[in-house]
Amino acid sequence: MRRLFFLLLICGCADPDHSPPVDESRPSLVRAGTLEDPALVEASGLARSQHDPDLLWIINDGGAKPRIHATDRRGASRGVIKVAGARNVDWEDLASFRWHGAPYLLIADIGDNESKRDMLSLYVIEEPDLNSTSVPKVKPKWRIDFRYPDGARDAEAIAVDAVNERVFILTKRDIPAVLYELPLAPRGDDILTATRVGAIGSLPVPRRQDVEYAPVSKDWYWQPTAMDIAADNLAALILTYRAVYVYERDVDDSWFAALSRRPLVIPLGGYREAEAVVFSADGESIFVTVEQQRAPLLRIDLNGAMAE
């Protein structure tokens, strides 16, 4: 993954201050398929399976039933699992990880469009194995309730560093976006206070006119909507509405240091309103989707982008 990233980087990075134009000479973005499950009307989070490299998990945005949806890497539905005892107030992101040898999914109920929620929740469930049995529902193994130290925040992006047992949350409406962290497996049932890590200055900074005109243009290109950390814990993704930002991390780096460096920028071209992103299990590809029924499932092949 590290060599792939380096070779991609020297092929050229777009200006992070704006959603960059599509480089037609580098066809790294392809439509892998369409999300066929009709219940997926507002896909807001993607996670790779720890059981099956061809399987992805997806969640719907707020107000939908508390379900996780399985799809293959072409968008074909593989099943739906109910999350018993959970409520989808505003589910916005999804992450998978291994902890003490077992596979888990973390569901992030962190959306807060009007910044009014006093408490937000993360649900951690053991990932069902669809290859071995049919599991109609699962119960959370644990739940993390938290608030921010500096007032309510809207966020749509989370990532899990299972090695260091941390959950990272990136706010959406702050300029620049702010990174917070929580313990992955806290002790007790108390409501936690997230730790403010710092502002992520490597993401695009909108011009004043962009911010003022956004309610009319419906173009908030700079706002982060999803995150992911690669299986090897050495790379991360941040998705905005218009592009994917890829970051490399050295073993001794903090994630804040890694996310503060200049990223590789992969524009999404004509696709707007991107809401979910994930590395493939082998780190060779990136998958992206948007919030709509029968949404496109996009794939960015890092080897393909490197080939030129």
Element (H, E) at 30: strand 29-34
Q: Are strands 91-99 and 102-109 parallel, antiparallel or unpaired?
A: antiparallel
Question: Nearest-CA neighbor of 161 among 236, 260, 263, 53?
Answer: 236
Give the position of tokens 């730790």.
195
CA 165 to CA 77: how far, in whole Å? 31
* pLDDT class of 18 with cuts at 50, 70, 90: very low
Q: How many domains does one find in the chain?
A: 1
Question: Mean of the pLDDT values across residues 280-288?
Answer: 95
Each residue's pLDDT tens digit, 101-148: 999 999 999 999 989 999 999 999 999 988 766 668 899 999 999 999
Tell me what percent of the chain is helix, strand and coil, each rounded to the nearest 5: 10, 40, 50
Residue 4 reports pLDDT greater than 70? no
Kindly report the pTM of this predicted structure.
0.90
Please give the residue that has the higher pLDDT: either 172 or 18. Answer: 172
CA distances from 215 to 46, 210, 218, 219, 220 (A): 27, 9, 5, 8, 8
Residue 257 pLDDT class (50, 70, 90 cuts):
very high
* Nearest of 54, 84, 86 to residue 70 by alpha carbon: 54
- Dist. CA 192–CA 142, nearest whole Å: 14
pLDDT on residue 11: 41
- What is the predicted pLDDT for the residue at 185? 92
185 closest CA partner among 89, 303, 84, 97? 97
* Percentage of the chain modeled with pLDDT above 90: 79
Question: Which domain does 119 fall in, by range?
Answer: 2-307
pLDDT digits (tens, 9 = 90+) for 209-231: 999 999 999 899 999 999 999 99
Percent of the chain predicted with pLDDT > 70: 88
Q: Please write down the long-range contacts of 189-193, taking CB distance under 8 Å and 24 or more positions apart.
A: 189/145, 191/119, 191/145, 191/146, 191/147, 192/144, 192/145, 192/146, 192/147, 193/146, 193/147, 193/148, 193/149
CATH number of the domain to which 238 belongs: 2.120.10
Pairing outcome for strands 192-193 and 142-147 = parallel
- Residue 307 predicted with pLDDT over 70: no
